[in-house]
Copies of this chain bind each other. A is one copy, B any other.
């Protein structure tokens, strides 16, 4: 099993690499090599029981050794994220769309070799490819109507990967990730930053600002569960995607999967924080921010991810477990990275 991670230096890329290193196998097959690709050569995970190659480059001019012959699985996590794609239209289009085209072309070259199979491509699409707002509960066949350039580029990339799958250049599964919470590191300029800050900062003993009312609901998932889903997508029998009573052929052509996140209000998230660390939620101060409220207000607050459940994607853990997972996986590293005392 030969694997590539595009965006291997990013937050999820590093977590996927660490999990593969821990497991040593994927889909019941031993991993024989792992290639990590990013703008700067990613650091290989420590103690990998297989060779790890780090490749640096621009995804639009994807080097041949980023996806070497014999590659079985490509995790396509390389992206310009929402705030950056909104601020710089060309950059978002270049990386999020042209980068996906470059991946398609690389897989097409590989799969055209005698005896070669189309590589599985696991793509991280996003809840940002939908709109709908607080009252939404989106079905699996909901129309993707993005309210930002990032979501537009993700939805268009999904279409391109589904078509490339139909043409047997590759074999894609696009996971539409919820807002990932709790992210490690620092607060950033993403509109969704507060959904991590209100948990992470109090656990570090720091205050956090809450720009929306406590009844604001969001569709979220833990980094741990996101990694589970990406690995499950890598092992999935894609011929099963369309199989279900009443499904039309259209379902088989659509490689996008609404991940089984969890719909939680801010109040529920803070209550879970309180269970894990009593008193911590007092560090969260309401500071209304109409600009942020307007942006996050377009995101659908809930999905009914029936298809993902049928295909065996793990259901989400409780909010309390989500908080505990952050403490177990990322709290210490975040403290060190930010130079905070224990």
- A residues engaging B (CB < 8 A)? 89, 93, 101, 108, 131-133, 136, 141-149, 152, 155-156, 159-160, 162-163, 166-167, 248-251, 253-254, 298
CB neighbours of A251 from chain B (8 A): 145
Is A145's CB under 8 angstroms from B298's CB? no
**Cβ-neighbour of A133 out of B144, B146, B159, B248 (below 8 A):** B248
- Taking A152-B160, A156-B156 as known contacts, 5 extra A-B pairs with beta carbons closer than 8 A to each other, sorted by chain A number, are A133-B248, A144-B159, A146-B163, A148-B163, A155-B159
Report the minimal beta-carbon distance from A80 to chain B, rounded to whole angstroms. Answer: 14
Is A253's CB under 8 angstroms from B147's CB? yes
CB neighbours of A136 from chain B (8 A): 248
Is A143's CB under 8 angstroms from B248's CB? no
A89 CA to B164 CA, complexed, in Å: 10
Report the minimal beta-carbon distance from A246 to chain B, rounded to whole angstroms. Answer: 11
Report the minimal beta-carbon distance from A283 to chain B, rounded to whole angstroms. Answer: 34
Is A156's CB under 8 angstroms from B145's CB? no
* Closest A-B pairs by Cβ, 6 of them: A152-B163, A156-B156, A145-B250, A131-B250, A145-B254, A156-B159
CB neighbours of A298 from chain B (8 A): 249-250
**Cβ-neighbour of A145 out of B132, B147, B167, B253 (below 8 A):** B253
Closest residue of chain B to A105 (Cβ to Cβ) is B90
**Cβ-neighbour of A143 out of B108, B133, B144 (below 8 A):** B144
A–B Cβ pairs within 8 angstroms, 30 of them: A93-B101, A131-B248, A131-B249, A131-B253, A132-B248, A132-B250, A133-B248, A133-B249, A143-B143, A143-B144, A143-B250, A145-B162, A145-B250, A145-B251, A145-B253, A146-B159, A147-B249, A147-B250, A148-B163, A149-B163, A149-B167, A152-B159, A152-B160, A152-B162, A152-B163, A155-B159, A156-B159, A156-B160, A159-B159, A249-B298
Closest residue of chain B to A151 (Cβ to Cβ) is B163
Is B248's CB under 8 angstroms from A89's CB? no
Is A143's CB under 8 angstroms from B145's CB? no
Is A143's CB under 8 angstroms from B101's CB? no
Is B146's CB under 8 angstroms from A143's CB? no
A150 CA to B249 CA, complexed, in Å: 18
A108 CA to B93 CA, complexed, in Å: 14
CB neighbours of A145 from chain B (8 A): 162, 250-251, 253-254
CB neighbours of A250 from chain B (8 A): 131-132, 143, 145, 147, 298
Report the minimal beta-carbon distance from A163 to chain B, rounded to whole angstroms. Answer: 4
